[in-house]
C-alpha cells in the first residue's frame, strides 16, 4: 500500500501522499497482479504474507481480505501462515484492527518509532507517544504475542541516556518482538537536509555504537533473542516472513515498487529472477490492467549472484548461513571449501568477527555490528 | 595553492646578456630609403623587405606589471599603424591563447611588424611582445635579445609594482633604451606625478622623460611611437654581411611543422636558401620567410635588422633550439651568445584522474610540450596514484598555466600534486660519490634523499623576492616573511606611502601558499615577484609518514628541520580526516628517522551495518557492496590498512585556487 497521509521527515521510500485514493481500483490491481505472479511462479503454497508500505493500515480491511483471498485461490495459503500488517499508531483504532484480524491478518508491526513527543515531531510522525501507547495496547489485545513495535535510535540530538529511557519505556509496553533501527539519514529527505545544513547535529559514530550496544544488552537482559541486526524476539516470536528474506527463500512482490525473487516455473525457468514492479502507482495500475502485472525490470541471477545475496543477507542473522541453506544454493562448493581456506574469512575469524563451525558461517556479536565492513572482503573471496 | 589569475611572480634566470649591443659597432653603408610603398600591402603580393634598411628599423618590446595595460597599448599601436583595423573588438590581439585572455597575461610571446611614416620616412617597427608575467622571464629575455629598446608601462593609479622593478632591471642589464610610459591617466584616481617621482627615485629616469598616456582612449599613444623612433637605436648590422640570425622563439603548427621566430643580425634570408643551425649543425632548405602582422605574412626575404618567421621543414621544436644561430650553408659565422636552457625550479607529480585516461593524457602532454619546451617530463609512478609523470616547471604560474592549458585546450582533468623544489646534497660518503659519479646530487624525489651521515651539506634553492606594498601592511608582511625563513636584504620607500622590500627566500617557502597569504593580509595591495638567487646551505631532513608503523612511500617529504613539527602535525590531521575508519585502530605518525614528531589516532569502526535489509532493499544493497568490494581491489595496502586513492589525492593534491 504505497500511500501515506503525510511524509515523515526521514523517509525516502516509494510513498505517495494523495488527496484521494481510488481504493477499488488499487484493490483490483493488487489482486490481479498477485494472481498473475503466483501463476507465473507456479506457486503451490504461500507460507507468509507481509503488507508493507506506505501505510497499509490506511487500506480498508476489505482490501486486505481480497488480496488474501486471491492468494488462497491462486495457490494455497498454508495453515498457520504468518500474515503481517504494518500499521501506524494514527490509523489503528480497535475496530479497524479487529477488521484486519477478521480479514486474516494475524501479526501486527506497529511503527511506534519513539516514545517521546519532541522526537516524534522531529521525525514528522502524526502520532504522539500516548497515542502510540494506546495503539500498542489495543493491538496486544487483539494479537497477543504477535505484535511487534519499531523503534528508531540515533536521532539528531538524542543522548545515550535518552535512548536508554526510550528502551525502558518500550520494554514496559512491548509484546514479544521489537525492531530497533539506527536512523539512516537518507539523501533527499528533509531531516538529512537539516543535518547537512547544520540546523540539527549529526550523531557521532561512537555514540551510535554505544546506543546499539545499549539496545543489545538491555533487550537481551529482558529475555529477547537478538536474531537479526535490528530485530529482537522472545518466546520464539521471530518474524518468519522476514527470516525468509535472510535465508534466501523465494518471494513474490506485489504492488508499486515491490521487489521479488523467484523462479519462473511457468516459463520452464530454473534460475531465480530478481523482479521489480513499476514504482509509480498510476503507471503500475495501467500496466496491471493491460498485462496482468506491472513488472518493470527482470534480471536472472547467476549462481554467483545468488550466493552473494545469501552471504550479505544470511550473515545478518544470529544463526548465520547454515550448511544446509548454503548447500541448497551451492551443491558443489561447500561453505568450508569457500571460506575455510586461508583468505579473508579466515583472517576475520582469527580477529574474532566471524565463526565457521559445524552449524555454518555466522558473525560474532562484535562482527554483526560491523558486518558492512566484513562483507566486501567476503564477497571478494567468494568471487575468487 | 592559489596563484590568483593576476599573480605577479617572475622567475628570472641569470643569463649572460645576449644583447648585440655588446658587439662592436659596425656602421652599415647608408642605403637610400625606398619610398612610395604603403605601410601595409596585404593583398598586393609579397612585401619587398629590402625597402626597409636597417636605419628605418626599430625593434622593441613593451614590459609592464600585470594589468598595467601592456596588451591594450599593443592593440592601439597595431591600430594606429594600420596593422589591424580599428574596431571595438581589438582586445589583447597578441594574446592568442584562452588562458592568456582569461588571466590577462601573456604566456607565449608574439611579434608584430608595424609600418609607420614619421617625418617623411617609412619605418618598420617590430613590436616583440614579451610574456607579461612571469615565471616566463626566460621568454622575456629571449624577446629582449631581439630588441634595442623597451616601453616600460606603469599604471598611473597603482604605480610601480614588484614586477615593474624586475622587468626594468631585465631591460637595464641588457643595456636597452627605456621609454617610461604612465598609462591609465584617464582613471579617476590616477596620480601620474607620484608615479613619475617613483620612477625617478627607483630607476633614476628624469620625470620629464615619462609619457603620460591612456592606452584605452588612445591619448598620447602616437607620441609613444615617435619616441620609439627617436630614442631607440636601429639594430647595428649589415645586409652585405653573411647571414646571421638568432632563433628567439619557436612554435609548432600541425600542418606546417616548426615555425621559428628569428631576428637577423646580418645578411639576408630568402626561400630556397640552404641554412645551417650552428648548435645542432643540421641543414635545412628555407621554405618560407615572412613577417608577423601579427599573423604570418610571407615576404620574398628578410634583411639584416629585421624580425620575422622562418619555415624550413623542421618537424620538432627541439630542432629549432631557442638561442641557436642560423647561417648559410658553407658560410659559417661566429654564433651569437646562446641561451642556457631554462632549468625547472618547481616540480609536481601529474596523474590522470582515472588510470584509463593515461594514454589520452600522455598524448595531450606530448602535444602541449611541443609548444612549451621549457616543461620537463619524467615518467613517474606512485603505488597510490598509479602511472603518471613528474613535471618540472619554471615557476608556479608556469605550472598553473600549463595545467589550465591542458584542461582548456585538451579537455584533460588531472591530479596535480603539491609542488616541490629541487634540493641538492653535497656528498661526503666515498661510496655514494662513486655510485653517482659526482660529489653533488640534485634530489627531486624524497626517496633519493641521502642520509645525513653520507652528506656534508644539504642545499636548497633560494630566490630574491621583491615586494611592493602600501606602508600600513609592512608589519604583517615582515612577520610573514620571517615565518617563511626569509632574510631581509633591502627596504626602501619608493614614495611617501609605498615601500619596496627585498627578501631572500628559500624557494620551497613560497611555492605553496605564500602569494595568497601576502595578498590577503594586504587586502590585495601588495605585489610580489622573485628571481633566482642560487642555492644555500639548509638543515634539511626527510620526514616519513607511518601508518601503524609502516612507512608510506608516497607521503615522504623533504623539509626544513624548523618546519617539520608543524608540517608533520598538519599532514597527520589531514590523513585522519581522509582515511576511512577500519576494523582496527590506526596510528598515523610523522617521523624523522626513528623519532616520532606527530601522531593522530584513527579509531576503529565500532558499528557499521545497515539497519534495514528486507526484500526491497537487497538489490540496492548488493550494488553498493559490490562497488565497495571492487574499490578494495584498487586500494593501496599499507600493512593491513587499506587507503583509498581518493585519500592520497586529497592529501597530496595542490590546494585548488581559492
| Alpha-carbon distance A180 to nearest alpha carbon in chain B (angstroms) | 8
Nearest to A312 among B605, B607, B621 (CB): B621
**pLDDT given for residue B102 in this prediction:** 59
The count of other CB atoms within 10 Å of the CB of residue A93 is: 13
User: Do the domain assignments include residue B624?
Assistant: yes
CB-based contact B161:B151 (threshold 8 Å): no
From A369-378, B61-70, B180-189, the region with the lowest mean pLDDT? B61-70
B583-630 confidence digits (pLDDT tens): 999 999 999 989 999 999 999 989 999 999 998 899 999 999 999 998
Looking at beta carbons, which residues of chain A come within 8 Å of B639? Answer: none
Q: Hey, are the CB atoms on B583 and A351 less than 8 Å from each other?
A: yes
Q: Hey, are the CB atoms on B605 and A205 less than 8 Å from each other?
A: yes
In this structure, the answer to whether residues B81 and B164 fall within a common structural domain is: yes
Grid cell in block for residue A53? 508500505
Q: Hey, are the CB atoms on B583 and A373 less than 8 Å from each other?
A: yes
**pLDDT given for residue B651 in this prediction:** 80
Q: Hey, are the CB atoms on A379 and B609 less than 8 Å from each other?
A: no
Grid cell in block for residue B328? 648559410
Q: What contacts 24+ positions apart, CB below 8 Å, involve B70-73?
A: B70/B106, B70/B132, B70/B153, B71/B95, B71/B104, B71/B106, B71/B132, B72/B183, B72/B215, B72/B216, B73/B151, B73/B153, B73/B181, B73/B183, B73/B213, B73/B215, B73/B221, B73/B224
Q: Hey, are the CB atoms on B618 and A242 less than 8 Å from each other?
A: no
Q: Hey, are the CB atoms on A257 and B616 less than 8 Å from each other?
A: yes
Average pLDDT over residues B132-146: 61
Range of the domain at B104: 49-231
A66 pLDDT exceeds 60? yes
User: Do the domain assignments include residue B15?
Assistant: no
Cβ partners under 8 Å of residue B287, min gap 6: B271, B311, B312, B313
Nearest to A379 among B608, B609, B625 (CB): B625
pLDDT classification of B93: cutoffs 50, 70, 90: low
**pLDDT given for residue B654 in this prediction:** 65
Looking at beta carbons, which residues of chain A come within 8 Å of B606? Answer: 205-206, 209, 369-370
pLDDT classification of B105: cutoffs 50, 70, 90: low
Q: Which of B504, B538, B572 is the last residue of a domain?
A: B538
A178-197 confidence digits (pLDDT tens): 999 999 999 899 999 999 99
Percent of chain B with pLDDT over 70: 85
- Closest alpha carbon to B227 in B144, B155, B154, B123: B123
Best of A56, A275, A370, A380 to disrupt the B interface by mutation (most B CBs within 10 Å)?
A370
From A142-146, A164-168, B496-500, the region with the lowest mean pLDDT? B496-500
In this structure, the answer to whether residues B146 and B175 fall within a common structural domain is: yes
In this structure, the answer to whether residues B437 and B577 fall within a common structural domain is: no
A82-94 confidence digits (pLDDT tens): 999 999 999 889 9
Instruction: Decide if B605 touches A, using CB distance below 8 A.
Output: yes
| Alpha-carbon distance A368 to nearest alpha carbon in chain B (angstroms) | 7
**pLDDT given for residue A10 in this prediction:** 94
**pLDDT given for residue B655 in this prediction:** 58
- Closest alpha carbon to B611 in A179, A126, A171, A65: A179
Q: Hey, are the CB atoms on A370 and B625 less than 8 Å from each other?
A: no
pLDDT classification of B546: cutoffs 50, 70, 90: very high
**pLDDT given for residue B99 in this prediction:** 57
From A17-31, A301-315, B235-249, B643-657, the region with the lowest mean pLDDT? B643-657
Q: Which of B365, B383, B416 is the last residue of a domain?
A: B416
CA dist., res. A314 & res. A326, Å (int): 10
CA dist., res. B288 & res. B294, Å (int): 16
CATH of the domain at B226: 3.40.50.300
**pLDDT given for residue A51 in this prediction:** 97
A265-311 confidence digits (pLDDT tens): 888 778 899 999 999 999 999 999 999 999 999 999 999 999 999 99
Instruction: Decide if B189 touches A, using CB distance below 8 A.
Output: no
B618-655 confidence digits (pLDDT tens): 999 999 999 999 888 778 888 889 888 778 877 877 65
Q: Hey, are the CB atoms on B625 and A205 less than 8 Å from each other?
A: no
Instruction: Decide if A240 touches B, using CB distance below 8 A.
Output: no
In this structure, the answer to whether residues B288 and B381 fall within a common structural domain is: no
B38 pLDDT exceeds 60? no
From B414-418, B568-572, B596-600, the region with the lowest mean pLDDT? B414-418
Looking at beta carbons, which residues of chain B come within 8 Å of A370? Answer: 583, 605-609
In this structure, the answer to whether residues B67 and B181 fall within a common structural domain is: yes
Looking at beta carbons, which residues of chain B come within 8 Å of A245? Answer: 613-615, 618
Instruction: Decide if B430 touches A, using CB distance below 8 A.
Output: no
Best of A206, A366, A375, A381 to disrupt the B interface by mutation (most B CBs within 10 Å)?
A375
Instruction: Decide if A376 touches B, using CB distance below 8 A.
Output: yes
Q: Give, in order, the Cα–Cα distances in Å from A222 to each of A174, A214, A233, A236, A240.
A: 11, 12, 10, 14, 21
Structural domains counted in chain B: 5
**pLDDT given for residue B90 in this prediction:** 60
B21 pLDDT exceeds 50? no
In this structure, the answer to whether residues B136 and B190 fall within a common structural domain is: yes
**pLDDT given for residue B86 in this prediction:** 65
B461 pLDDT exceeds 70? yes
In this structure, the answer to whether residues B599 and B509 fall within a common structural domain is: no
Q: Which fold, A23-244? A: TIM Barrel (3.20.20)
B129 pLDDT exceeds 80? no
Q: Which of B177, B199, B231 is the last residue of a domain?
A: B231
From A154-163, A301-310, B1-10, B456-465, the region with the lowest mean pLDDT? B1-10
CA dist., res. B260 & res. B267, Å (int): 17
| Alpha-carbon distance A250 to nearest alpha carbon in chain B (angstroms) | 10
Grid cell in block for residue B490? 633591502
Q: Hey, are the CB atoms on B611 and A377 less than 8 Å from each other?
A: no
CATH of the domain at B515: 3.30.70.240
**pLDDT given for residue B174 in this prediction:** 84
In this structure, the answer to whether residues B567 and B503 fall within a common structural domain is: no
Looking at beta carbons, which residues of chain A come within 8 Å of B609? Answer: 229, 316, 368-372
B223 pLDDT exceeds 60? yes
CATH tag, A303-383:
1.10.10
A380 pLDDT exceeds 60? yes
| Alpha-carbon distance A96 to nearest alpha carbon in chain B (angstroms) | 27
**pLDDT given for residue B535 in this prediction:** 94
CB-based contact B635:B645 (threshold 8 Å): yes
Q: Hey, are the CB atoms on A258 and B616 less than 8 Å from each other?
A: yes
**pLDDT given for residue B11 in this prediction:** 27
**pLDDT given for residue B40 in this prediction:** 40
Looking at beta carbons, which residues of chain B come within 8 Å of A377? Answer: 629, 632
B472-489 confidence digits (pLDDT tens): 999 999 999 999 999 999
Q: Hey, are the CB atoms on B612 and A181 less than 8 Å from each other?
A: yes
Average pLDDT over residues A158-184: 96
User: Do the domain assignments include residue B8?
Assistant: no
Q: Hey, are the CB atoms on B607 and A353 less than 8 Å from each other?
A: no
Looking at beta carbons, which residues of chain B come within 8 Å of A383? Answer: 629
**pLDDT given for residue B87 in this prediction:** 62
Q: Hey, are the CB atoms on A369 and B606 less than 8 Å from each other?
A: yes
User: Do the domain assignments include residue B92?
Assistant: yes
Q: How many CB pairs under 8 A join A and B?
A: 105
In this structure, the answer to whether residues B475 and B604 fall within a common structural domain is: no
CA dist., res. B437 & res. A33, Å (int): 83
B33 pLDDT exceeds 80? no
User: Do the domain assignments include residue B395?
Assistant: yes
Residues B284, B285, B287, B288, CA torsion sign: positive
In this structure, the answer to whether residues B205 and B305 fall within a common structural domain is: no
From B106-115, B460-469, B528-537, the region with the lowest mean pLDDT? B106-115
Q: Hey, are the CB atoms on B625 and A372 less than 8 Å from each other?
A: yes
CB-based contact A60:A93 (threshold 8 Å): no
Best of B609, B619, B634 to disrupt the A interface by mutation (most A CBs within 10 Å)?
B609
CB-based contact A159:A189 (threshold 8 Å): no
What is the residue extent of each domain of chain A?
23-244, 248-300, 303-383
Owner of C-alpha cell 602535444: B367
Q: Hey, are the CB atoms on A209 and B614 less than 8 Å from each other?
A: no
Looking at beta carbons, which residues of chain A come within 8 Å of B625? Answer: 308, 312, 372, 375-376, 379
Strand partners, B459: B424, B537
**pLDDT given for residue B338 in this prediction:** 58
Grid cell in block for residue A123? 521525525
Closest B-chain CA to A152: B611
| Alpha-carbon distance A31 to nearest alpha carbon in chain B (angstroms) | 20
| Alpha-carbon distance A103 to nearest alpha carbon in chain B (angstroms) | 24
pLDDT classification of B1: cutoffs 50, 70, 90: very low
**pLDDT given for residue B29 in this prediction:** 33
Instruction: Decide if A317 touches B, using CB distance below 8 A.
Output: no
The count of other CB atoms within 10 Å of the CB of residue B601 is: 12
In this structure, the answer to whether residues B532 and B587 fall within a common structural domain is: no
Q: Hey, are the CB atoms on A209 and B607 less than 8 Å from each other?
A: yes
Instruction: Decide if B620 touches A, using CB distance below 8 A.
Output: no
B656 pLDDT exceeds 50? no
Q: Hey, are the CB atoms on A206 and B603 less than 8 Å from each other?
A: yes
B46 pLDDT exceeds 90? no
B372-408 confidence digits (pLDDT tens): 767 888 888 877 778 899 898 877 778 888 888 888 8
Nearest to A208 among B607, B618, B625 (CB): B607
Average pLDDT over residues A316-331: 95
In this structure, the answer to whether residues B269 and B309 fall within a common structural domain is: yes
Amino acid at each position: 500500500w504505497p500511500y501515506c497521509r503525510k511524509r515523515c521527515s526521514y523517509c525516502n521510500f516509494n510513498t505517495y501522499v494523495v488527496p484521494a485514493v481510488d481504493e477499488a481500483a488499487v484493490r483490483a490491481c493488487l489482486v490481479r497482479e498477485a494472481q498473475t505472479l503466483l501463476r507465473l511462479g507456479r506457486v503451490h503454497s504461500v507460507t507468509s504474507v507481509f503488507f508493507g508500505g506506505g501505510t497499509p493500515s490506511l487500506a480498508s480491511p476489505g482490501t486486505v481480505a481480497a488480496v488474501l483471498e486471491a492468494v488462497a485461490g491462486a495457490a494455497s495459503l498454508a495453515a498457520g501462515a504468518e500474515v503481517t500488517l504494518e500499521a501506524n499508531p494514527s490509523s489503528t483504532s480497535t475496530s479497524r484492527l479487529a477488521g484486519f484480524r477478521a480479514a486474516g491478518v494475524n501479526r501486527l508491526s506497529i511503527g511506534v518509532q519513539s516514545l517521546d513527543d519532541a522526537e516524534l515531531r522531529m521525525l514528522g510522525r502524526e502520532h504522539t507517544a500516548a497515542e502510540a501507547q494506546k495503539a500498542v495496547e489495543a493491538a496486544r489485545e487483539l494479537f497477543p504475542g504477535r505484535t511487534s513495535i519499531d523503534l528508531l535510535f540515533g536521532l539528531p540530538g538524542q543522548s545515550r541516556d535518552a535512548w536508554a529511557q526510550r528502551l525502558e519505556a518500550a520494554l514496559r509496553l512491548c509484546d514479544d518482538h521489537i525492531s530497533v533501527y539506527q536512523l539512516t539519514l537518507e539523501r533527499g529527505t528533509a531531516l538529512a537536509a537539516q543535518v547537512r545544513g547544520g540546523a540539527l547535529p549529526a550523531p557521532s559514530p561512537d555514540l551510535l555504537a554505544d546506543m546499539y550496544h545499549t539496545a543489545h544488552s538491555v533487550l537481551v537482559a529482558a529475555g529477547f533473542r537478538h536474531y537479526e541486526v535490528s530485530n529482537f524476539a522472545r518466546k520464539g516470536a521471530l518474524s518468519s516472513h522476514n527470516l525468509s528474506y535472510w535465508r534466501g527463500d523465494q518471494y513474490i512482490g506485489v504492488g508499486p515498487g515491490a521487489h521479488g525473487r523467484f523462479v519462473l516455473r511457468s516459463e520452464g525457468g530454473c534460475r531465480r529472477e530478481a523482479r521489480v514492479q513499476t514504482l509509480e502507482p498510476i503507471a503500475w495500475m495501467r500496466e496491471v490492467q493491460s498485462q496482468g502485472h506491472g513488472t518493470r525490470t527482470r534480471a536472472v541471477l547467476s549462481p554467483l549472484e545468488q550466493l552473494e545475496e545469501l552471504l550479505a543477507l544470511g550473515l545478518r542473522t544470529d544463526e548465520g548461513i547454515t550448511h544446509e541453506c548454503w548447500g541448497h544454493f551451492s551443491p558443489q562448493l561447500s561453505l568450508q571449501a569457500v571460506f575455510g581456506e586461508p583468505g579473508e574469512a579466515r583472517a576475520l575469524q582469527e580477529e574474532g568477527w566471524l565463526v565457521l563451525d559445524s552449524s555454518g558461517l555466522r558473525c560474532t556479536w562484535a562482527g554483526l555490528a560491523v558486518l558492512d565492513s566484513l562483507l566486501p572482503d567476503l564477497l571478494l573471496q567468494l568471487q575468487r | 595553492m592559489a596563484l590568483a589569475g593576476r599573480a605577479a611572480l617572475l622567475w628570472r634566470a641569470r643569463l649572460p646578456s645576449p644583447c648585440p649591443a655588446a658587439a662592436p659597432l659596425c656602421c652599415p653603408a647608408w642605403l637610400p630609403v625606398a619610398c612610395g610603398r604603403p605601410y601595409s600591402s596585404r593583398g598586393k603580393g609579397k612585401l619587398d623587405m629590402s625597402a626597409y634598411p636597417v636605419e628605418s628599423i626599430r625593434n622593441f618590446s613593451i614590459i609592464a606589471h600585470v594589468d598595467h595595460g601592456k596588451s591594450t597599448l599593443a592593440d592601439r599601436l597595431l591600430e594606429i599603424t594600420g596593422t589591424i583595423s580599428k574596431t571595438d573588438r581589438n582586445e589583447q590581439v597578441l594574446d592568442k591563447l584562452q588562458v592568456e585572455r582569461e588571466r590577462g597575461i601573456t604566456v607565449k610571446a608574439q611579434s608584430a611588424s608595424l609600418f609607420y611614416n614619421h617625418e617623411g620616412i617609412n619605418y618598420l617597427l617590430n613590436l616583440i611582445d614579451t610574456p607579461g608575467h612571469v615565471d616566463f622571464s626566460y621568454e622575456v629575455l629571449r624577446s629582449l635579445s631581439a630588441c634595442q629598446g623597451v616601453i616600460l608601462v606603469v599604471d598611473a593609479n597603482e604605480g610601480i609594482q614588484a614586477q615593474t622593478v624586475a622587468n626594468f632591471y631585465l631591460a637595464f642589464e641588457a643595456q636597452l633604451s627605456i621609454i617610461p610610459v604612465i598609462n591609465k591617466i584617464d582613471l579617476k584616481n590616477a596620480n601620474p606625478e607620484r608615479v613619475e617621482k617613483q620612477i625617478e627615485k627607483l630607476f633614476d629616469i628624469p620625470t620629464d622623460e615619462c609619457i603620460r598616456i591612456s592606452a584605452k582612449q588612445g591619448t598620447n599613444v602616437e607620441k609613444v611611437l615617435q619616441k620609439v623612433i627617436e630614442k631607440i637605436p636601429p639594430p647595428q648590422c649589415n645586409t652585405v654581411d653573411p647571414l646571421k640570425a638568432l632563433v628567439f622563439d619557436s612554435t609548432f603548427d600541425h600542418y606546417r611543422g616548426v615555425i621559428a621566430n628569428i631576428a637577423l643580425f646580418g645578411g639576408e634570408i630568402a626561400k630556397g636558401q640552404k641554412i645551417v643551425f650552428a648548435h645542432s649543425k643540421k641543414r635545412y632548405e628555407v621554405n618560407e620567410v615572412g613577417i608577423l602582422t601579427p599573423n604570418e605574412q610571407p615576404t620574398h626575404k628578410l634583411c639584416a635588422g629585421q624580425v620575422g618567421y622562418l619555415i624550413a621543414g623542421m618537424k620538432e621544436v627541439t630542432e629549432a633550439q631557442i638561442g641557436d644561430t642560423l647561417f648559410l650553408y658553407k658560410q659559417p659565422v661566429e654564433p651569437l651568445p646562446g641561451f642556457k636552457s631554462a632549468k625547472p625550479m618547481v616540480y609536481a607529480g601529474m596523474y590522470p584522474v582515472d588510470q584509463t585516461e593515461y594514454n589520452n593524457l600522455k598524448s595531450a602532454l606530448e602535444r602541449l610540450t611541443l609548444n612549451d619546451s621549457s616543461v620537463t617530463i619524467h615518467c613517474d609512478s606512485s603505488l597510490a596514484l598509479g602511472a603518471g609523470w613528474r613535471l618540472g616547471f619554471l615557476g608556479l604560474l608556469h605550472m598553473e598555466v600549463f595545467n589550465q592549458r591542458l584542461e582548456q585546450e585538451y579537455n584533460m582533468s588531472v591530479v596535480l600534486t603539491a609542488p616541490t623544489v629541487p634540493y641538492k646534497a653535497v656528498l661526503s660518503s666515498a661510496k655514494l660519490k662513486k655510485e653517482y659519479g659526482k660529489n653533488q646530487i640534485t634530489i627531486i624525489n624524497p626517496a633519493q634523499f641521502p642520509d645525513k651521515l653520507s652528506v656534508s651539506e644539504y642545499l636548497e634553492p633560494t630566490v630574491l623576492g621583491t615586494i611592493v606594498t602600501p606602508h600600513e601592511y609592512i608589519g604583517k608582511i615582515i612577520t610573514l616573511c620571517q615565518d617563511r625563513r626569509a632574510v631581509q636584504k633591502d627596504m626602501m620607500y619608493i614614495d611617501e606611502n609605498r615601500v619596496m622590500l627585498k627578501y631572500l627566500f628559500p624557494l620551497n617557502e613560497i611555492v605553496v601558499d605564500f602569494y595568497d597569504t601576502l595578498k590577503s593580509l594586504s587586502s590585495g595591495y601588495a605585489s610580489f615577484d622573485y628571481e633566482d638567487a642560487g642555492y644555500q646551505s639548509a638543515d634539511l631532513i626527510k620526514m616519513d609518514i607511518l601508518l601503524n608503523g609502516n612507512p608510506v612511500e608516497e607521503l615522504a617529504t623533504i623539509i626544513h628541520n624548523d618546519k617539520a613539527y608543524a608540517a608533520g602535525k598538519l599532514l597527520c590531521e589531514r590523513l585522519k580526516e581522509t582515511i576511512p575508519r577500519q576494523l582496527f585502530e590506526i596510528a598515523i605518525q610523522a617521523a624523522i628517522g626513528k623519532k616520532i614528531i606527530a601522531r593522530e589516532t584513527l579509531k576503529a569502526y565500532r558499528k557499521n551495518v545497515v539497519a534495514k535489509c528486507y526484500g526491497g532493499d537487497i538489490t540496492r544493497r548488493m550494488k553498493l557492496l559490490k562497488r565497495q568490494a571492487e574499490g578494495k581491489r584498487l586500494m593501496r595496502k599499507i600493512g593491513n590498512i587499506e587507503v583509498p586513492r581518493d585519500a592520497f589525492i586529497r592529501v597530496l593534491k595542490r590546494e585548488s585556487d581559492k
